[in-house]
Amino acid sequence: MTTEAPPRQPEASSSAGGITEIKPLTGRVAGFLRGIPTWLLWFFVVVWTIPTLGLLINSFRTRDAQRGSGWWMFWQDSANGYGGLTLENYRDILGSNATGGVANGLLNSMAIAVVATIIPIAIAAFAAYAFAWIDFRGRNLLFIATVALLAVPSQVALIPLLQMYAGGAHFTIPLIDKTLTVFPDLDLAGTIPAVWLTHTGFALPFAIFLLHNYISGLPSDLFESARIDGADHFTIFRKIVVPLSVPVLAAFTIFQFLWTWNDYLIALTMIGGNREALPATVVVASLAGEFGLREELLTAGAWIITVVPLIVFFALQRFFVRGITAGSVKG
């Protein structure tokens, strides 16, 4: 006589009070990732890095060399009469007789990225705290409406926003023939502040959603103890929420800085023909000229604007995974 083995139960962990909890999803995902062979991970890393390596090598090659052979043949450039590796492309972009204004574009990109990162963080952090720990009427409905804005494509709103920055937003009441000003005419079209406001508006829904998931998972005992000691919401936010939320704040900083630094469409739409205010992405895209006569400069310009995001990412990477995963699963 044989007996059938009982069906295998999901992995569980014991908690206080004898309650059994199913192993969190993050634990199962981590177990799966640990089972992936190391050589396979290195394979994907190498494949992902090859285009960047090619971009770097081509940035040191002459125009004839780039047109004559692929970057993987750079070691034969001298033998083929193209000349060896050179810094000429970088001198043309950043030297005293620079072409295209890349140096000024880098300053504009920094001004756009830094401010357009700080403003959403400052607003979204306190908004997320309010949605998580301040009880007010309509809180859940307002939070759902805010997160729902993630579904709105940014391209749809660019032209209406540009019109609003150029002439303001006004609404006329038909029956009484009275005009109300929703947004004043600040003449922001063609200026960097227009890019700040646009990036802030597009970033807030995701920032609030991400920060809310983290802040809502903080221990409630901390907030109750602070209220008993007489702390108001601003004190709690400044002395408890902000210090404990550094990982998720750093994670969003990476997201937002990389997005604003690498942005092309929003800057081009909002700034337009004002070349003095254009960021490096728009400037580099125009380096080749109308007929592509200086296309050899594109690789050097692209590598220059790649360095800053890499520095930001590696400086904050230790917070990245903690900030993204914390608060996503309770278990």
CA distance 270 to 202: 14
pLDDT score at 98: 59
CATH number at residue 249: 1.10.3720.10
Verify that 221 and 297 share a domain, yes or no: yes
Q: Identify whether 142 is part of a domain.
A: yes
Q: How far is residue 95 from each of residues 92, 153, 239, measured CA to CA in Å?
A: 6, 39, 47
Q: Is the pLDDT of residue 97 over 60?
A: no
Q: Are residues 250 and 318 in the same domain?
A: yes
Alpha carbon 31 to chain centroid, angstroms: 28
Q: How confident is the model at residue 329 (pLDDT cuts 50, 70, 90)?
A: very low
User: Does residue 21 surpass a pLDDT of 80?
Assistant: no
Q: Are residues 44 and 169 in the same domain?
A: no
pLDDT tens-place string over residues 275-304: 888 999 998 888 877 666 678 888 888 888
Is the domain of 213 the same as that of 96?
Answer: yes
Are 53 and 121 within one domain?
no
Q: Is residue 12 part of a domain?
A: no
- CA nearest 199: which of 130, 125, 250, 270? 270
In a domain, 11, yes or no: no
| 277 domain residue, yes or no | yes
**Is 273 a residue whose pLDDT tops 60?**
yes
Give the model's pLDDT for residue 15: 42
- Summarised one tens digit per residue, pLDDT across range 38-49 is 888 888 888 888
Report percent pLDDT > 90 for the chain: 28
Which of 58, 78, 106 is the endpoint of a domain?
A: 58
Please check whether residues 227 and 267 belong to one and the same domain: yes
Of 164-173, 219-228, 316-325, where does mean pLDDT reach its minimum?
A: 316-325
89, 59 in Cβ contact below 8 A? yes
d(CA 194, CA 200): 10
Averaged pLDDT of the chain: 82
Residue 191: name the closest of 256, 115, 275 by CA: 275
Where in 158-213 does DSSP place strands (E)? 169-173, 178-183
Least trusted range by pLDDT, from 55-69, 174-188, 242-256: 174-188
Give 82's Cβ-side CA count (13 Å radius). Answer: 22
Q: Is 72 a domain residue? A: no
Is residue 13 domain-resident?
no
- Give the model's confidence band at 251: pLDDT under 50 very low, under 70 low, under 90 confident, else very high: confident
Are residues 289 and 229 part of one domain? Answer: yes
pLDDT at 203: 94
Q: How many domains are there within the chain?
A: 2
Q: Tens digit of pLDDT for each residue in 184-223?
A: 888 888 899 999 999 999 999 999 999 999 899 888 898 9
Residue 122: predicted pLDDT: 93
* C-alpha distance from residue 17 to each of 11, 13, 24, 220 (Å): 18, 12, 19, 20
Tell me if 81 is assigned to some domain.
no
The band of 323, judged by pLDDT with boundaries at 50, 70 and 90, is low
SS3 187: coil
260 versus 31: the higher-pLDDT residue is 260
Q: 167-171, 198-202, 214-218, 240-244: lowest mean pLDDT where?
A: 167-171
138 and 90 inside one domain: yes
Domain that holds residue 42: 23-58
Final residue before a domain boundary, out of 43, 58, 73: 58
Please give the Cα distance from 154 to 139 (Å, whole number).
25
The residue-averaged pLDDT of 13-27 equals 46
Are 54 and 90 within one domain? no
Tell me what pLDDT residue 20 has.
41
- Helix axis angle, 246-262 relative to 192-215, nearest 10°? 150
Q: 43 and 139: one domain?
A: no
Band (325; pLDDT cuts 50, 70, 90): low
- Asked if residue 121 and residue 35 are part of one domain, the reply reads no
Query: So what's the pLDDT on residue 99?
Result: 58
pLDDT at residue 11, rounded to an integer: 46
Instruction: Write down the pLDDT at residue 19.
Output: 37
Flag whether 287 is in a domain: yes
Is there a single domain that holds both residue 128 and residue 239? Answer: yes
pLDDT in tens, 71-90: 888 888 877 777 788 888 88
